Structure 1
Amino acid sequence: MKMTQVITSKKLIAIAISAALSLTVSAQESVEKIQVTGSYIKRTAVDAAEPVQVLDFNYIQSTGATTVAELISKLAISSGAENQADSYTQASTQGTGNVNLRGLGLSSTLVLINGRRQTISGAITNDGSVFVDTSHIPIDAIEQIEVLKEGAASTYGSDAVAGVVNFILRKDFEGLELNASISKVTDSSQKDSDIGFLWGTEFNNTYITVSGHYLDRTPLSTADRPELGDNAFSSLGNSFLLYPIQADGSFDFSPITVDSGPYAGTYAPFEEVADPTCLDDELGMLIPQASGTRCGFNFGPLYNLVNTETRTQLYTNISHDFDDGTQLSADISWSSNKVKDNPQSPSYPDLTFPYIGSDHAGNPFGTGVIWLGRPLGADQEPALAPRENETFRASFNVAGSFENNWGWDTALTYSKNVYTQFQQDQLRSRLVAALAGEGGINNDELFNPFDRTSITDSIIEDFTHVTESEKTAYLLALDAVIDGKLFELPAGNANFAAGMQARKEGFQVATDDVFEITYDADGNPIPVDLIFLAGLSEIDVDRTSFALFAETVLPVSEDLEVTAAMRYEKLENDSSLDPKIALRWQATDKFIVRASASTAFREASLSQMNATAATINGISDYNEDGTAKSAAFVGVLARGNADLKPEQSKNYNLGLIFKATDDLDFKVDYWRVDYTDLITVENAQGKIASDPNGEDIIRTEAGLLSAIEVDYFNSSSVKVKGIDIESVWKLNNQFNLAFNASHFLTYELTKDNGEVVEAAGSFNYDNFARSLPEDKATLNFNWVGETQRASINVNYVSSYKTSIALPANESAKIEAFTTIDTQYSATLGITENSDATVTLGIKNLLDEAPPRVFNGYGNLSYDPKQHSPLGRVFFAKAKFAF
């Protein structure tokens, strides 16, 4: 794909649209046609040239999923999405959900609702990715989900690089359904309780459908699964680096002796000394160092694997059919998701690593020290970091037809998301004052880190601050499409569609004065007044884009159909011309061959171009001999880059459909994506590994790692190839079997330092890819009787490896993960016009534990992007239909 100003093509497309509007075609089609995601042309062919996987209502119900996130996590083609709580690597997306087709990144999957664009979430991942939040969508309101498994920029524009997921919601429903469910982890108190309703009616050709859903989720603490958090510890508990610097800047290398008290002993200069009470608490731990010992802090048991959360979702569809065939419809939805606890450590470590002089009243060493610790330890309550996530969407659509049977369709869609984060930290200035004896509410109290039992509530209140930041994203989109028969060929009608789209999107970041990143006269960021968190820059930016597109389907012969599409998109600072060609060849009665080639692109997000934001990552520093130190959480400051170019890709698909019988078919697709100018952020761990003393590695005067600055950039290339397999076997009128699998042949990427690596089958701890098992698969077995039904679902994730330096007791192999879900439903008649359906089921029937992962110290010991920590879950549902 070439990003260029293509004025002549713009004119050609405009002429094509004008010509289409003037055509008069009188033939009336008698066969009902359908429109499938990936095309604006309605067709009768079931197996079109585009590879589309359809998750229908019955399949969705058979999974037992209570949220869209749970459903997507088991989709074979999605790998590396963030759909579970993880305060360590997903700290800013708690309470959201997303899709990651092909593992190409959350930003490379286009998510539609009823075929229309939806705003991205205000939440941003640790690697700077933006995404559409699927937690907005009530699962009870979904009619079906269509997954287009190839690039579709020629149809939809930016973001459709890896594919498209279209959530089609229910409408034209008549009646009332009330439902409730509860699911509970077998060996924990964690449970999900939800209630919902679906109501619809029709009068005078007006249809109203209303759906509501409420979820109440209780927490699962890592303390209930200690083996999943045993590496979640920090080397910064409460320790002191003896630092005998003299007034003239020289060092005194004499031994340091403490005659009495808890610190009694003789120490060497620059030795690290642990708090002698370190092991008095079960969360304390001693960590040997090159010189001395540190007091570490085992924070894992304080955090959650599942947070306390509530979700409220409302959706309504209103449509009216006019006598002339025109249809007016409106979709309006609102959701509010609240993460109510999200516990963190009582306080974070002080990454400013303050120097405490020998004159400090509590200093027992008689020489200056550098404090390697945190103000509050395990004797204090965990700090809470709640999240609030609110989304609104309204889409208005008018569709009809001209006298010549050409159809027209227009829509205006507005969506907005507001994501609010609260995070507690300590004020640097007030902590410094407390260390100097000027802390507390009255500025007269001493904070003594050598004996933290003396700390007062007044000091804690004085230096504690809860940051609040609000990120808002919105999108306004206008769509207009026409479609109809262009002309007639011997093998059938040549159908055509053309249209335009105009979009305006905005992104805003607002935060409190303490947390806001400001800049000096030279444009350098000024450190915020916090000991750990590094702040956000406030921005308020927007942009517009305009697109023209055209598509045609040509029946070249009775057996060969060719689809061609073209889209011109004018961006604010660039433009794109994206073609697509696809064919469908009915080789024999049983074999269909399909192939496609296209280009796609993704525009850099407004946050990637304009915002500076900090995340906190567990980073392993390095000793002088090159060996890795224990990891500690440090600030990673990601700087926006206004010069980012749009990502570009070339997409190919070659598929074979084998219809063995009317009831059994197999689909095999080979696909390839050549991605260039990929937008990513430098990997902080990889950056410090390449050059521990680089200019963007921020250290204190004593050489202690404090922060890492990283930039968004256009990396050189990613080349991905794979195979998808899909099969459906209808054994008889009651039994059917469905199989879906996705396999990576290769995932070749270029790291920040220019090294080319194979990411498929790897955990990818030191590059921008997420964990990428080579294989994911699902097997669904369904039995449907007159009043009863049952299902068994098998979900498989293959093994993969990590290349991180491992302790002696850890393995590089991350084992395969297979879970079995099963459920049974029975429908009972209550009255002539009402019935009740009761469903009982078990998720993870065999209680498989998630495979162990060593992701360095300071992170979870499993992979939340691939595996579930819950174990066996029992659930029950009841639905009453009137």
Structure 2
Amino acid sequence: MTFKLKSLPFAISCAIASGALVASLPALAQTTEAAGGAVPQRVVVTGSLISRADTETPTPVQVLTAQDIQRSGKTSVAELLNDLAANGAGTLGTGFSGAFANGASGVSLRGLTVGSTLVLIDGHRMSPYAIGDDSQRSFVDVSNIPFDAIDSIEILKSGASSLYGSDAVAGVVNIKLKKNFTGTRLTAEGGDTQHGGGATHRASLSTGIGDLDKDGYNAFVTAEWRHQGAIKVADRDQFAWDNRDWRSRGGNNLTLGVPTSLNGNLVAASSPFLYNPSGTGGANNAANFQFLDPSCNYTLYRAGGCAVRDTTGFIQPESENLNVLLGMTKKLSNNWELAFKGSMFKRDSVNNRGVPPTYSPTTYAGATTLNNGVLVTNVGRVPSTLFAPGAAVGANLTNTFANNARLYGYIPGLDGASQQDNTSTSTRLALDLTGSAYGWDVNVAGGLTKVKVDIDYSGYVDRAALYRLINSGQWNVLGNNSPALIAQVSPRFSNSLESRLNYFDAVGSRELMQLGAGPLALAAGVHWHKRTWDAPASSLTANGQVGNTSAFVIGSETNTAAFAELQATPIKNVELHLSSRYDHYDTYGNSFTPAASFKWTPVQQFALRGTFARGFRAPNPAETGNAGSFFQYNAINDPILCPTGNQYAAGTPVNGACGINPAYVQTTSQNLSPEKSKSYTLGFVVEPVRGLNATLDYYRIQVNNQIVTAAGNDPNYVPTFVRNPVSPTDIATGVGQNTVVGNPSVGLISYAQSPYINAGSTKTSGIEADVNYRWRLPSDMGVVRAGLSAAHTFSYEQNVAGVVYQLAGTQGPSIVSGATGSPKNRAQFSLGYAQGPLDVNATVNYTSRFSTLDPSVGGDSCASSALDVGGRTYFQGLTQPDYYCHVASFTSTNLNVQYKLSQNLTLKGSILNLFDKQPPFDVGTYGNASAQTSYNASLHQAGAVGRFYSLGLSYMF
């Protein structure tokens, strides 16, 4: 990340200043008088409802200005916010293309998940994304908010439910869009990666008329287009972290199409083949294989010569953004002002879930489990996985064995892996009326917000249709099938999901009286919002026609609230705040959340501050409404069909019984109560000399009554596995790796149901620091800027089923958002220099090492953390080297240079990941591009992308 986060007084003073290079006065000195004796400008800072001149509030707030954004070299807000030092475990990035909420990005302050960080637009609620993170947590997608529409971003790092209500448990990110604009600005830039893929282009136009002070109005429009190319797994497979062959690292060879003991020496290869499971010697006998074209044979197959390269998986999905913001502000009589903003932010992205589907026993076998936990045996299922002797195996091909045989291979003609073309359109209409009446400063606001996601599905298989066409001889298993046949085997289908949130806010504030050393100020307000979530399951997955499921949510909530804040200075240099809020939800009842804070400024250069706050997260429609989804979280051996864990033990089904990740059907509950939190902060602000300021804050947050799934969280929960009907499968004889076809004693595991419950808690603590220095060099030699933003986690304790686990510095909690990990330290150091037309900024981003263990899911052994935590089979059956028990630290450096060629024309160039640092291995994560890649896409995506160059121009007239 190339921007630097500034402490609030410094950043706002820069924004108010007449130019980027004008030095700001120390913020604490501005509490009494601004430069030149002018009356200091009063602003309302996120985390308070009362305007103030001293913008360093008792609560820790960081701000990112529009200038910081331009200096970042980034091209999306999602990339920008992902590098926040306070952004922790559970963050959702675009590198996780297989996520439930594919294509979207969310912020997780203090590692408490995206559901506990409230994202506001201009201080008001925005409709959450139409797909929940892990199908559960509601969050605002920050990936489609355009750069040029943003005036600033304020990050409140303290519990704020007493003012903002639900979800503000870990903090608030308030994205402030531009209020007005005059003139016209054109920008264009393009960039590319050194190692291929990921070419990015962006263009924007902003134009506005009217001067608020002179003309009494302003109207402007900002339009932005951005296209980011895909980076495929194949674009980086020259690097070890993107290579399935782990033999040189002490592990297994997981290369697609290569037979090993892990897959029973039976795996889909580059050429389809028939296998006789009843033949002598099993997969170790060439006589049991019938390859269907000459490009591969048994000798090549066993030697790994029929391997398959993953050309469909994404490291970075392709995306395109088209964003339009319209703003109009009109001054009314008596200093009232009416502002309107209308926006449409649209993002198209392509997301997939791995490699293409194959001909294999799992392609056909089993029943269909619908999202609500209903097992359907007569839809999408085929009568057998076996082809009889002499039977057609596609066009002009037959089974030449004297026994029943199975077909293995990749299905040709499909559009790669199961893929979702996702179009997300966020619309927002907002009115704000501000002014003064009867001694009160008043703000009345209302808005209509909506997020609609349209998804086109491709690459999914209608198993019954495929089986029917193969047996009738119409389908050529080698390829060259007609579009009509392909449409039968892999039908395309669509779905629309919608999330709406309409709100009304009214807030008034005034000074009531003098109390002690200053005024007693009061702010009070009311809030109302109605949210609806209409996200049905896609048609062909809902009825079981294709072999996949998709999460669904249908529900609503209505929230009515009243809140108030008091600010007082009872004695000189001591500022006190009290606030509270009463919320009523029609889904569960009522919540009351108080908060208190103080700031003591004994001398002008030093202030001590602290806060206490209660917070809550209301259960949302995905947890209480009509909703369902599937999830996996642990690796087990089937207690009946693989009791010893040895897939070649006599009587053990070789396929689907050992080392499996069973599916769980997530069900909702009508009796959930909200999550509740208590948070504390204590810190200081110091500005010892002109241009230097620093903040250091300790935080402690405890979240109780968490809404979690019963599996793994309820000590009394014992999964009752629903099993598929018994059907023939390969069963080990107990002699070597020989198998026979037979019926197991029970069917293979299909799923177990797991309801949402209130259980357990999370407690985290740490410190966060910001140090910034601005030095004007003598003799007009320019200005040097330096900034450090750092976060250290002391503790991250999770109570699971009555057992407390320490997860700071580990992979845990790995059940959240792709096992993003919980490194103890994150930091950003920026160094900038400006003189005349030149502005140079470099930023170093640092993430410390952490363990791949997660004791909360039983991952407490270095010998097996890849399998225990991420479900990865890199070392299954072997001893995992200690080297892979930790994820190494990662440091990347970004460079951004801007030069004003003329008064109106600016040239910009950036190099992200300047030293082309590769990501460290992370064998415990699953939030990346399948088992092909072994890096952490949330923390180390910059390394996977590699060195990125960009060049752009901006013209203002």
TM-score (norm 2): 0.77
Cα–Cα, structure 1 residues 231 and 698, in superposed 2: closer, same or farther, change >3 Å? farther
Is the 8 Å Cα contact of residues 923 and 934 (structure 2) preserved in structure 1?
A: yes
Is the 8 Å Cα contact of residues 83 and 845 (structure 2) preserved in structure 1?
A: yes
What's the offset of the Cα at 1:697?
Answer: 6.0
User: Which stretch of structure 1 is more off in the superposition, 782-791 or 718-727?
Assistant: 782-791
Secondary structure (helix, strand or coil) at the match of 2:884 reads: coil
The answer on 1:548 being equivalent to 2:592 is no
The answer on 1:350 being equivalent to 2:367 is no
Letter in 1 for 2:160: A
Instruction: Give matches, 1:554-703, under 5 Å.
Output: 554-572=568-586, 573-615=588-630, 620-622=635-637, 623-626=642-645, 636-681=664-709, 694-696=719-721, 698=723, 701=726, 702=744
Is the 8 Å Cα contact of residues 163 and 581 (structure 2) preserved in structure 1?
A: yes
Cα–Cα, structure 1 residues 159 and 812, in superposed 2: closer, same or farther, change >3 Å? same
Is the 8 Å Cα contact of residues 274 and 289 (structure 2) preserved in structure 1?
A: no
Secondary structure (helix, strand or coil) at the match of 2:905 reads: strand
d(CA) in 2 for partners of 1:576 and 1:208?
Answer: 41
User: Which of 172, 197, 217 matches 1:206?
Assistant: 217
User: Which of 270, 280, 284 matches 1:267?
Assistant: 280
Q: 1 or 2, which has the higher strand percentage?
A: 1
Secondary structure (helix, strand or coil) at the match of 2:119 reads: strand
User: Which stretch of structure 1 is more off in the superposition, 571-580 or 859-868?
Assistant: 859-868
Letter in 2 for 1:745: F
d(CA) in 2 for partners of 1:711 and 1:123?
Answer: 19
What's the offset of the Cα at 1:214?
Answer: 0.2
d(CA) in 1 for partners of 2:275 and 2:104?
Answer: 48
User: Paired residue for 2:729?
Assistant: none
User: Which stretch of structure 1 is more off in the superposition, 502-511 or 388-397?
Assistant: 502-511
What's the offset of the Cα at 1:339?
Answer: 1.4
User: Paired residue for 1:5?
Assistant: none
Is the 8 Å Cα contact of residues 227 and 321 (structure 2) preserved in structure 1?
A: yes
Is the 8 Å Cα contact of residues 239 and 372 (structure 1) preserved in structure 2?
A: no
Is the 8 Å Cα contact of residues 910 and 951 (structure 2) preserved in structure 1?
A: yes
d(CA) in 2 for partners of 1:117 and 1:323?
Answer: 29
User: Paired residue for 2:426?
Assistant: 391
User: Which of 42, 45, 65 matches 2:74?
Assistant: 65
Is the 8 Å Cα contact of residues 636 and 661 (structure 2) preserved in structure 1?
A: no
Letter in 1 for 2:794: L
What's the offset of the Cα at 1:40?
Answer: 0.5
Is the 8 Å Cα contact of residues 848 and 871 (structure 1) preserved in structure 2?
A: yes
d(CA) in 2 for partners of 1:191 and 1:669?
Answer: 40
Letter in 1 for 2:895: T
d(CA) in 1 for partners of 2:285 and 2:78?
Answer: 46
Cα–Cα, structure 1 residues 52 and 775, in superposed 2: closer, same or farther, change >3 Å? same
What's the offset of the Cα at 1:852?
Answer: 1.1
RMSD: 3.7
Letter in 1 for 2:851: K
The answer on 1:879 being equivalent to 2:879 is no
d(CA) in 2 for partners of 1:591 and 1:415?
Answer: 42
Is the 8 Å Cα contact of residues 921 and 935 (structure 2) preserved in structure 1?
A: yes
Letter in 2 for 1:583: F
User: Paired residue for 1:313?
Assistant: 323
User: Paired residue for 1:10?
Assistant: none
Measured against aligned partners, the alpha-carbon deviations of 1:395-420 in whole angstroms (never above 9, x if no partner) come to 1011110143x211100011100112
Cα–Cα, structure 1 residues 478 and 297, in superposed 2: closer, same or farther, change >3 Å? farther
Is the 8 Å Cα contact of residues 567 and 575 (structure 2) preserved in structure 1?
A: yes
User: Paired residue for 1:495?
Assistant: 521
Secondary structure (helix, strand or coil) at the match of 1:60 reads: helix
Is the 8 Å Cα contact of residues 721 and 749 (structure 2) preserved in structure 1?
A: no
Secondary structure (helix, strand or coil) at the match of 1:135 reads: coil
User: Paired residue for 2:394?
Assistant: none
The answer on 1:721 being equivalent to 2:765 is yes
What's the offset of the Cα at 1:331?
Answer: 1.1
Is the 8 Å Cα contact of residues 796 and 818 (structure 1) preserved in structure 2?
A: yes
Measured against aligned partners, the alpha-carbon deviations of 1:70-107 in whole angstroms (never above 9, x if no partner) come to 1011111112422223234x1x3333222111110111
d(CA) in 2 for partners of 1:85 and 1:123?
Answer: 17
The answer on 1:811 being equivalent to 2:884 is yes
Secondary structure (helix, strand or coil) at the match of 1:561 reads: strand
User: Paired residue for 2:918?
Assistant: 849
Letter in 2 for 1:320: K
User: Paired residue for 1:411?
Assistant: 445
Measured against aligned partners, the alpha-carbon deviations of 1:350-392 in whole angstroms (never above 9, x if no partner) come to 27356335736255665567x6967616998555421111110
Cα–Cα, structure 1 residues 296 and 664, in superposed 2: closer, same or farther, change >3 Å? farther
Is the 8 Å Cα contact of residues 637 and 707 (structure 1) preserved in structure 2?
A: yes
Instruction: Give matches, 1:106-117, under 5 Å.
Output: 106-117=114-125
User: Paired residue for 2:807?
Assistant: 759
User: Which of 833, 846, 850 matches 1:783?
Assistant: 833
User: Paired residue for 1:867?
Assistant: 940
User: Paired residue for 1:743?
Assistant: 792
Cα–Cα, structure 1 residues 410 and 626, in superposed 2: closer, same or farther, change >3 Å? same
Measured against aligned partners, the alpha-carbon deviations of 1:429-485 in whole angstroms (never above 9, x if no partner) come to 3234346x3xxxxxx43669xx75797766543232234222210100000000010
Question: Taking every aligned residue pair, what percent have the same amino acid on both sides?
Answer: 23
What's the offset of the Cα at 1:171?
Answer: 2.1
What's the offset of the Cα at 1:502?
Answer: 0.7
Is the 8 Å Cα contact of residues 197 and 231 (structure 2) preserved in structure 1?
A: yes
Letter in 1 for 2:795: T
Letter in 2 for 1:756: V
d(CA) in 1 for partners of 2:297 and 2:629?
Answer: 27
Secondary structure (helix, strand or coil) at the match of 1:356 reads: coil
What's the offset of the Cα at 1:581?
Answer: 0.6
Number of equivalences: 799
User: Paired residue for 1:823?
Assistant: 896
d(CA) in 2 for partners of 1:493 and 1:359?
Answer: 90
User: Which of 447, 458, 461 matches 2:487?
Assistant: 461
Cα–Cα, structure 1 residues 553 and 98, in superposed 2: closer, same or farther, change >3 Å? same
The answer on 1:97 being equivalent to 2:105 is yes
Cα–Cα, structure 1 residues 615 and 303, in superposed 2: closer, same or farther, change >3 Å? farther
d(CA) in 1 for partners of 2:299 and 2:162?
Answer: 57
Secondary structure (helix, strand or coil) at the match of 2:166 reads: coil
Cα–Cα, structure 1 residues 106 and 299, in superposed 2: closer, same or farther, change >3 Å? farther
Give structure 1 stretches of 5+ with no counterpart.
1-28, 242-259, 438-443, 518-527
d(CA) in 1 for partners of 2:365 and 2:715?
Answer: 22
d(CA) in 2 for partners of 1:97 and 1:554?
Answer: 39
The answer on 1:42 being equivalent to 2:51 is yes
Measured against aligned partners, the alpha-carbon deviations of 1:525-565 in whole angstroms (never above 9, x if no partner) come to xxx2222x12445x542221100001010101112111000
d(CA) in 1 for partners of 2:510 and 2:301?
Answer: 72
Letter in 2 for 1:330: F
TM-score (norm 1): 0.83
User: Paired residue for 2:230?
Assistant: 219
d(CA) in 2 for partners of 1:574 and 1:287?
Answer: 63
Cα–Cα, structure 1 residues 696 and 605, in superposed 2: closer, same or farther, change >3 Å? farther
Cα–Cα, structure 1 residues 755 and 234, in superposed 2: closer, same or farther, change >3 Å? farther
Instruction: Give matches, 1:11-30, under 5 Å.
Output: none
Letter in 2 for 1:470: S
Measured against aligned partners, the alpha-carbon deviations of 1:637-667 in whole angstroms (never above 9, x if no partner) come to 3222232221110111111222222321221
d(CA) in 2 for partners of 1:160 and 1:877?
Answer: 37
The answer on 1:422 being equivalent to 2:422 is no
Secondary structure (helix, strand or coil) at the match of 1:69 reads: helix
Cα–Cα, structure 1 residues 718 and 286, in superposed 2: closer, same or farther, change >3 Å? farther
d(CA) in 2 for partners of 1:285 and 1:644?
Answer: 59
Cα–Cα, structure 1 residues 856 and 65, in superposed 2: closer, same or farther, change >3 Å? closer
Is the 8 Å Cα contact of residues 237 and 372 (structure 1) preserved in structure 2?
A: no
User: Paired residue for 1:253?
Assistant: none
User: Paired residue for 2:94?
Assistant: 84
Secondary structure (helix, strand or coil) at the match of 1:514 reads: helix
